[in-house]
Structure 1
Amino acid sequence: MTSGHHPRDAMRRLRALPGLQAVTSYRREWLLKDVIAGIVLTTLLVPQGMAYAELAGLPPISGLYTSILCMLGYAVFGPSRILVLGPDSSLGPMIAATILPLAASNGDPQRAVALGSMLAIMVAVVMILAAVGKLGFVADLLSKPTVIGYMNGLALTILIGQLPKLLGFKVEASGLVEECVGLVEELSAGSLVPAAAAVGIGGIVVILVLQRLLPKIPAVLVMVVLAIAATSVFGLGSHGVSLVGTLPQGFPPLTLPDIRLDDLAPLAGGALGIALVSLADTISNASAFAARSGQQVRGNQEMAGIGAANLAAGLFQGFPVSTSGSRTAVAERAGAKTQLTGVVGALLITLMLILLPGLFRDLPQPALAAVVITASLSLVDVGGTVRLWRQSRVEFLLCITAFLGVALLGVLPGIALAVALSVLNVFRRAWWPYETVLGRVPGLGGYHDIRSYPHAERLPGLVIYRFDAPLFFANAKTFRDEILRLARTDPAPTWIVIAAEPITDVDTTAADVLEDLDETLNAEHIHLVFAELKDPVRRKIERYELTRTIDTRHFFPTLEAAVTAFRDQTGARWTAAPPSPPDIR
């Protein structure tokens, strides 16, 4: 009966695809701009794709396969008009940390490719499930201080890991400390290849100088062309410099990754970490570029788009991808209007592989290391770290701990530590929230923090106390202890009014603590009074049956109403600050 509606539903869903919507609303005047931007973008995609593939422990060709398929996948399913996806410097070490232990040292490159492809498919599954479950908020699990520390640690890890390739030798080591030791040992043993070092260091200088002085010129492409020219002129291959060699010809075939069953568990752990970093990166980049173009960020659709891009890459011998702020900026500066820019880039890379697979055969490996190292430098945020030191020592320590976690434990444990630190920091703020006593300041409306206004007036017998957090199992005893300390000051108050507007919730543990606290205060002839309690919290208190002990007449809609009731009952008058004001931690 309902089967007749299925074709219409399918057509409706099909028309809702961002790619098809972009086609139907495409303007003819955009075409030339998108094509030119696609050509410019390709000059960056090819060398970076190969470089980031090697950073991930995979053959350079897989970086090009990944670039082609992920851009096509995102063009159909991704909501952003100009975001550029592809192999990413921040994901490379995470991919390598996941697949290389499974592939084993000197293992079969084809096995590494299969593991990388399966990892991309698993990232796609995580992203698509998260999109269906509307879980875009999980990107918020990485706070800014921990992201800064993580990225700084990642940059150092990439830099140290790429130095041997830059200088023309290899170091067999795992972990930053071992790599540093191995680097020093190889240099001491005279393993440095002068020609390789000249190409690599020269490449870094060319990229950084051009990016600084001539930002509109594709610095990476210029460096790559110069490096290939140097190989031809000076015969670098015969001077011990490793070259990329001829790439496999043709478009990558559809390939289902052939892996072992016991590979799935370690791959799943890596996929979760990669998905989290990719999502956080994508949401931040999407927000930045959407703000410039007037678009809205659709987090769940972005996850679906990233999932589609990873799935396409994984089915064609690729590896996990993310958005790139630098490549997106290049596309934007070149005049990109839609995802046709990425499609043009994918087509050009495909044509290169079909018609000119030997185009980059003379590209020195140290030049690829230079591409990766300069990309890693963009991950460093020294200014942000210094700002944290000046503004918040606690968040600075979080940043440094995340940095050390990546540098000393590795990138995957580092991302787990960064998430844990972010969550613990939220918990810390709720566990030990800000709390204070309020007083009246002549000439200012309302009631104000006595820390900011130490001469604020008080009413004898009344304490107004504010607790800036929901009341739950972890902080309920802190709340109780402070109330009891206020109750036992001299002279003792007769009313303790809770300025309850910041208290957004009360759990069952806190409810039990409140009940015991009220009974204790009642025995000392002190009333616990609530003002500005939110309606949902008030209903919870009634459901917990706390009104058996807390007098319902001691709930007031505003602080002013509570203060007025106290003054009407006692005749108290405002006085200057007492000689020994209550001390709030």
Structure 2
Amino acid sequence: MGNADDMNPSAESYNLDATGRHRVAVPPPQPFVKSLKNTLKETFFPDDPLRQFKNQPPRRRFILGLQYVFPILEWGPRYTLQFFRADLIAGITIASLAIPQGISYAKLANLPPILGLYSSFVPALVYAVMGSSRDLAVGTVAVGSLLMAFMLGNVVNAQENPKLYLHLAFTATFFTGLFEAALGIFRLGFIVDFLSHATIVGFMGGAATVVCLQQLKGILGLEHFTHATDVVSVMRSIFSQTHKWRWESALLGCVFLFYLLSSRYFSKKKPRLFWISAMAPLTSVILGSILVYLTHAEKHGVQVIGHLKKGINPPSIMDLNFDSTYLPTAIKTGIVTGVISLAEGIAVGRSFAMFKNYHIDGNKEMIAFGMMNIVGSCTSCYLTTGPFSRSAVNFNAGCKTAVSNIVMALSVMITLLFLTPLFHYTPLVVLSAIIIAAMLGIIDYGAAIHLWHVDKFDFLVCMSAYIGVVFANIEIGLVMAIGLSVLRVLLFVARPRTLVLGNLPDSKVYRSVDQYQNAHNVPGILILEIDAPIYFANTNYLRERISRWIDDEEDKLKSTGEMVALQYVILDLTAVGNIDTSGISMLDEVKKIIDRRGLKLALANPGGEVMKKLNKSKFLETIGQEWIFLTVGEAVGACNYMLHSCNTKTTSDVSEKYSNNV
């Protein structure tokens, strides 16, 4: 037999109050240290990376730890010959793209062309061991190269002091890797999330436009060109040297640019023939070199790469420059290029992972990117990440694992050891055409149009980034874009939405009267929904906004001649996930304002964290537990009953009658 409490469960055991309705419970108290620990865990470890180590013996934990740091140890034992065949084809295909792109992007960064090949060798091997993406093909990128050239070029002239410039490039790459690895180790990857999609679209589009304009130097065969990146300076530099334009170079550049764009268009129409577009850059280099060699075009104004020394990456760890004069520039360049390369690399990796239905760990990717840049800076490499063009070719070529990066690295190694003399006659105009063709694919005008149709503010952020990069400089464009993105976040926090709710006919559902035209107001009751957490930044606005809603409702009732005056205000706190002490003070002030107007305040569905703080602050005692409701429907029901029981003298009497009625 059960005891009396089991036979007659009390209202307390079912979270019912004295009136018989459901009571909003206050969560049990939690120690501050435990609460702080849970908050930090959700902030820095939302994916709970340690869950796989739980209840495992020490040896198994050690193995899992190695696999976490070096993912190749996880999938390597399951690697098959069939996978290798696919990765071999993909690796050779992306190598054919990486070699001409590497040389081109190194020239864009004002670095020796051979560094572009170095940067496609060692970093690719590091990423194959530590990266978690199966499809990402790592290497140099045009935007990162341009950023480095611009930021370092403001301090050191690459033509006047090439050795110092080269050493600063290695040092900036080192700090890029250090910054990226630190973000991953300390689980700070969410910082990169402040670069919104609109920001990236505008910034990348603007940078691509600037890169294309800069390549007009190579297309027109100019030897002297402005170091500024804004469109006005570039166009002034071009048209001030019309007498130095080389028609031979311009003709050659236009022909190869047409060939590159045509091959890309054809490959898009026939996706199975993607290799035509992938091989086009290398084909252009080969054909251009043969043409220059046979016609001796280098003697007629067509500039060529010249000598490239044989051999794999020489060490550069002793070339890192930590001189206090240049250290701030190196650190600044490393952080800015690190943020941009992380945003691009992780976004590309996640995009292709989504297609193949697998997950990549953003923090592990940051560590992998960081390590490949740290190791790269010590082996004569500069900034590397996961460019979209190579990764798309890798994906379309049918890669299965990161072994395709190893195949690409070995192909580049063979080129470094035996084939570099063949690039002696490669015309710079072909490299410019390759860069322009690649950059035209980055300018995503379709995404900008989509932003305009969906969200005008995002479009404004996008265009601000684009205009800032094109008409000012890269730094200003990036700062403008990030500033507007952060401003929008602050506006969301400082100016949260407040909505008037109405009842949908024949239901107990309450929704916004603006969204649902058939939702009608409940006579005598104003229902407001607060659609964001309540913090110090928005308390003044919310207090004034609630007062204005009450004024508007009373004016509307007077103008329409309604018989029932406003008597109750219900605040729906469903969307209020948290509240601080300023928010509690605001609620207390709102209650006083409502009391002075002769109205009653009720709260509906406050969350656990809100209830806990309202209880600790004694606000529940101020408002009264009977004015806290589980749903808007219950609050409206109680208020309606009290409206119809106006002859009842006390609230407790009404509550008792309401309970009996229920």
Q: Give TM-score, length-normalised by structure 1.
A: 0.92
How far does the alpha carbon of each residue in 1:354-386 deviate from its partner, in whole angstroms, 9 at most, with x for none?
222211111000111111111111111111112
**Which residue does the alignment assign to 2:297?**
236
Given the alignment, which residue of 275, 295, 302 partners 1:216?
275
The one-letter code matched in structure 2 to 1:338 is T
Query: Contact 1:273 / 1:415 at 8 angstroms: preserved in 2?
Result: no
Contact kept? 2:103, 2:114, Cα under 8 Å: yes
1:122 paired residue number: 175
Map 1:385-424 → 2, pairs under 5 A = 385-424=448-487
- Supply the distance in 1 between the matched residues of 2:226 and 2:549 (Cα, whole angstroms): 63
Shift of 1:11: 6.5
1:579 maps to which residue? none
- CA offset digits 1:380-426 (Å, max 9, x no partner): 11111122222222222111111122123322332232222211111
**Which consecutive unaligned segments of at least 5 residues does structure 2 have?**
1-56, 268-273, 558-564, 647-662
Question: What secondary structure sits across from 1:241 in the alignment?
Answer: coil
Map of 1:155 onto structure 2: 208
Segment of structure 1 superposing worse, 360-369 or 14-23: 14-23
Question: Using a 3 Å threshold, how does the CA distance of structure 1 residues 563 and 8 change in structure 2: closer, same or farther?
Answer: closer
Q: Is the 8 Å Cα contact of residues 487 and 526 (structure 1) preserved in structure 2? A: no
Distance 1:34 1:102, change over 3 A: same
Report the 3-state secondary structure (helix = DSSP H, G, I; strand = E; otherwise coil) of the residue aligned with 1:437.
Answer: strand
CA-to-aligned-CA distance 1:46-85 (integer Å, 9 cap, x gap)? 1000111111121111111111111011011111123111
Q: Is the 8 A contact 1:232 1:362 kept in 2?
A: yes
1:252 aligns with 2:324: no
Partner of 1:378: 441
Alignment-mate amino acid for residue 170 of structure 2: S
Match of 1:524 among 592, 597, 600: 597
Deviation by residue 1:430-454 (Cα, 9 ceiling, x = unmatched) = 2223322111121455012111334
- Is the CA contact (8 Å cut-off) linking 2:464 and 2:477 kept in structure 1? no
Deviation at 1:501, TM superposition (A): 0.7
The one-letter code matched in structure 2 to 1:403 is: Y
Give 1:313 shift: 1.4
For the Cα contact (< 8 Å) 1:50–1:60, is it kept in 2?
yes
Does structure 2 conserve the Cα–Cα contact (< 8 Å) formed by 1:246 and 1:359?
no
Higher Cα Rg: structure 1 or 2?
2
Residue number in structure 2 paired with 1:480: 543
| Equivalent residues of 1:66, 1:318 under 8 A apart | yes
Is residue 201 of structure 1 aligned with residue 254 of structure 2? Answer: yes
In 2: Cα distance, 1:308 partner to 1:481 partner = 52
Q: Secondary structure at the match of 2:203?
A: helix
Alignment-mate amino acid for residue 642 of structure 2: Q
Structure-1 residue corresponding to 2:101? 48
Partner SS state of residue 438, structure 1: strand
How far does the alpha carbon of each residue in 1:198-244 deviate from its partner, in whole angstroms, 9 at most, with x for none?
12121211100011114331111222122112112221101111101
> Structure 1 residue 277 and structure 2 residue 340: aligned?
yes
1:96 aligns with 2:149: yes
- Any conservation in 2 of the 1:171–1:186 contact (CA below 8 Å)? no
Amino acid at match of 2:607: K
Once the two structures are TM-superposed, the CA of residue 572 in structure 1 deviates from its matched residue by: 8.5
* Closer, same or farther: CA 105–323 of 1 in aligned 2, 3 Å: closer
Decide whether the 8 Å contact of 2:305 with 2:425 is kept in 1: yes
User: Which residue matches 1:336?
Assistant: 399
Partners in 2 of 1:346 and 1:105 — Cα distance? 28
Call closer, same or farther: CA 1:88–1:474 in 2, change over 3 Å: same
> Cα–Cα, structure 1 residues 360 and 572, in superposed 2: closer, same or farther, change >3 Å?
farther
Aligned pair partner of 1:290 in 353, 364, 376: 353
The equivalent position to 1:358 in structure 2, one of 401, 405, 421, is 421
Deviates more, 1:53-62 or 1:468-477: 468-477
- Asked if structure 2 preserves the Cα contact closer than 8 Å seen for 1:127 and 1:275, the reply is yes
Q: How much has 1:14 moved relative to structure 2?
A: 3.9
Aligned twin of 2:84: 31
CA contact (8 A) 1:460 1:572 kept: no
What are the Cα deviations for residues 129-162 of structure 1, in whole angstroms up to 9, with x where unaligned?
1111112222211112222211221111111111
* Matched residues, number: 567
**Paired residue secondary structure (1:529):** strand
Between the aligned partners of 2:346 and 2:613, the Cα distance in structure 1 is 36
Q: Equivalent residue of 2:98, what SS?
A: helix
Q: Which residue of 2 aligns with 1:21?
A: 74
- State the Cα deviation string for residues 10-54 of structure 1 (Å, max 9, x = none): 766445411233332211222222222222221111100011111
User: Using the alignment, how far apart are the partners of 1:225 and 1:105 within structure 2?
Assistant: 28
> Is 1:447 paired with 2:500?
no
Aligned-partner Cα distance in 2 for 1:105–1:281: 27
With over 3 angstroms needed to count, the CA separation of the structure-2 counterparts of 1:105 and 1:253, relative to structure 1, is closer
Q: Which residues of structure 1 form unaligned runs of 5+? A: 574-585
Q: Decide whether the 8 Å contact of 2:150 with 2:227 is kept in 1.
A: no
Contact 1:124 1:311 in 2 (8 A): yes
1:74 counterpart = 2:127: yes
TM-score by length of 2: 0.82
Partner residue of 1:582? Answer: none
Q: State whether structure 2 residue 236 is matched by structure 1 residue 175.
A: no
Residue 550 of structure 1: how far off its partner (Å): 2.5
Q: State yes or no: 1:186 paired with 2:186.
A: no
1:510 to 572, 579, 583: 583
Deviation at 1:303, TM superposition (A): 0.8
Determine the C-alpha separation between the residues in 2 that align with 1:539 and 1:141: 31
Q: Distance in 2 between matches of 1:12 and 1:534?
A: 38
- 2:408 & 2:352 partners in 1: Cα distance? 20
Whole-Å separation in 2 of the counterparts to 1:333 and 1:11? 33
Q: Which residue of 2 aligns with 1:135?
A: 188
- Aligned partner of 2:238: which letter? L
**Quick one: structure 1 residues 465 and 304, their matched pair in 2 at CA, closer, same or farther if it must change by over 3 Å?**
same
Which amino acid is the alignment partner of residue 182 of structure 1? S
Q: Partners of 1:516 and 1:383 in 2: how far apart?
A: 49
Q: Name the residue aligned to 1:227.
A: 288
Shift of 1:479: 1.2
Which amino acid counterpart does residue 216 of structure 1 have in structure 2? W
Tell me the distance in 2 between the aligned counterparts of 1:232 and 1:570.
96
| Residue 111 (structure 1) aligned with residue 168 (structure 2) | no
Mapped partners of 1:129, 1:14: distance in 2: 19
Deviations 1:82-104 (A, max 9, x none): 31110012211111122222322
For residues 457 and 143 of structure 2, the distance between their equivalents in structure 1, rounded to whole angstroms, comes to 25
Q: In 2 relative to 1, CA 455–271 (structure 1 residues): closer, same or farther, beyond 3 Å?
A: same
Q: 1:367 to 1:20 in 2, by over 3 A?
A: same
SS at match of 1:466: strand
Q: CA RMSD in A?
A: 2.1
- Residue 340 of structure 2 aligns to a residue whose secondary structure is helix
SS of the aligned residue for 1:528 comes to strand
Asked whether the 8 Å contact 2:505–2:518 carries over to 1, the reply is no
Q: Could you tell me how far apart the structure 1 residues matched to 2:280 and 2:363 are?
A: 35
Letter in 2 for 1:483: I
1:534 paired with 2:612, answer no
Report what 2:329 is aligned to. 266
Describe the SS at the equivalent of 2:533. Answer: coil
Distance in 1 between residues matched to 2:632 and 2:425, nearest whole Å: 77
2:34 match:
none
| 2:118 alignment partner AA | Y
Q: Distance in 1 between matches of 2:81 and 2:105?
A: 35
